[in-house]
Amino acid sequence: MGSRAATAIMSRAQRIQTKLQSALQTTVLEIEDVSHQHAGHAAMRGNTAGETHFNLKIVSPKFDGLSLVNRHRLVYDALAEELQSGLHALSIMAAKTPVELSATKK
């Protein structure tokens, strides 16, 4: 319960960071709050959660051997609570393994 109380006072961005780091052991994690770009669109009327839309770039060894859709499923699974509490959408701009990342750098 103590940890739940602690996560409750963190911003959603911080919670996303904590949850993805622990679930996916991310080696690179970029989280960008783009909620302002979506404020006022049809589905957001009445949503007061504030932090609703994020862009993510994730590098994780857990993605190894998985298709893109299954990589995204891992992310959504890790953030299931957030999605149920006002997180509206994620744009997962990159979901790579450390090996794939180093291959693109060469």
Partner 1 sequence: MLNDHFSGLALPKGLVQATGWVHPTGTRHLSTVPSDPDTHEDFHPSNKTENSNASLKDIVEQDVRDNPVMVYMKGVPDYPQCGFSALAIRVLRLYEVPLSARNIIENPELKDAVKSFSNWPTFPQVFVKGEFIGGSDIVLNLHQNGELKEMLKDIAASKKAD
Q: How far is the CB of 88 from partner 1 (least distance, A)?
A: 8
DSSP 2-61: HHHHHHHHS-HHHHHHHHHHHHH--SEEEEEE-GGGTTTSGGGTT---S--EEEEEEE-G
DSSP 85: T
Site string for partner 1, 48-77 (x = CB under 8 A): --------------------xx--xx--x-
Establish if 99 lies at the interface with partner 1 (CB under 8 A). Answer: no
Which one among 22, 25, 37, 102 touches partner 1, defined by CB under 8 A? 37
Establish if 93 lies at the interface with partner 1 (CB under 8 A). Answer: yes
Whether residue 1 contacts residue 37, with contact meaning beta carbons closer than 8 Å, is answered with no
Establish if 88 lies at the interface with partner 1 (CB under 8 A). Answer: yes
3-state secondary structure of 99: helix
Residue 61: closest CA among 12, 18, 102: 102
Which one among 23, 31, 89, 101 touches partner 1, defined by CB under 8 A? 89
Q: Where does this chain bind partner 1 (CB under 8 A)?
A: 37-38, 41-43, 68-69, 72-73, 76, 80, 83, 88-93
